[in-house]
Amino acid sequence: MNSAPGPHFSSDDFDAWMSDAPSAEARAHLDACPECRERAEAEREIVAMVSALPLVSPAEGFADRVMQRVAMPDPFSLRSMAGIRRRLFATRRTAALAATLAMVVAGSMAASIAWSLSHQQTIAAMGTWLMGQAWQAGWIGVRGIASNLIEQPWYSTLRDSLAHPALLGGASAIVFSMYIGGIVALRRLLTVPTRQVAHANG
């Protein structure tokens, strides 16, 4: 028994055969392959049966009736206070827990206020101590920075140059000139051009 030429039909080959547009190679294979021919006939019968079915459209108002039964959840209900309140008071246990937390928070706030009013001198002393500690830490930091600068190798050269008024005046003049030049350049950059561009139609 001779084998059929070419590979078995693919889905695209079956679609082309049912639309009466198969290639010559596909026709030759279909004539020699009973398996593909049987499947092709079955595919065509199924398509014919489905095409013969009457078109059924939903009754009038079907979409409205379906949408009335669909419960659309609020995407922000979990974040809303109403949702939180419903969850807290859903059961007696959650309500008791919420009440306990509220009492703890309110009691803590009241105790804090009462202690602050009765210990104003202690609070003032603590504030003074904290300010003193902050000042001391800042002064230690400044001294550390100054010590690091003094230990730098270029510090002695800078100190010697500052000891001569002529060098100090020259350096100041150079820095001042650079500052003025920067201001002038920045002003030139920020100045809006006053010349009007000629239009193409003019």
CATH number at residue 55: 1.10.10
Q: State the Cα–Cα distance between residues 99 and 80, nearest whole angstrom.
A: 19
- 171 and 161 Cβ atoms separated by less than 8 Å: yes
Q: Report residue 81 as tokens.
A: 């206070």
Same domain, 145 and 177: no
Same domain, 157 and 117: no
Digit-coded pLDDT (tens) for 98-127: 788 888 888 888 888 888 888 888 888 888
Residue 202: per-residue pLDDT:
45
Same domain, 16 and 52: yes
Same domain, 162 and 132: no
Same domain, 98 and 165: no
Same domain, 98 and 55: no
132 occurs within a structural domain: yes
* Nearest partner of 32 among 4, 6, 10, 13, judged by Cα: 4
Residue 4: per-residue pLDDT:
57
Digit-coded pLDDT (tens) for 140-160: 888 888 888 778 777 777 777
- Final residue of a structural domain among 46, 75, 104: 75
Same domain, 141 and 163: no
Q: Report residue 174 as tokens.
A: 């150079």
Same domain, 22 and 59: yes
200 occurs within a structural domain: no
* Nearest partner of 40 among 50, 48, 49, 30, judged by Cα: 30
pLDDT along the chain (202 residues), means of 10: 63 75 76 84 84 81 84 59 66 80 87 84 85 89 83 75 71 85 82 54 46
Same domain, 62 and 2: yes
Residue 57: per-residue pLDDT:
79
Same domain, 7 and 59: yes
Same domain, 127 and 171: no
85 occurs within a structural domain: no
86 occurs within a structural domain: no
87 occurs within a structural domain: no
Domain count, the chain: 3
Domain residues for the domain of 185 are 152-193
Residue 39 burial (10 A CB sphere; 0-12, 13-18, 19+): middle
Cα angle value 67/69/72 (rounded, 5°) = 70
Q: The tokens 């055969």 sit on which residue? A: 17
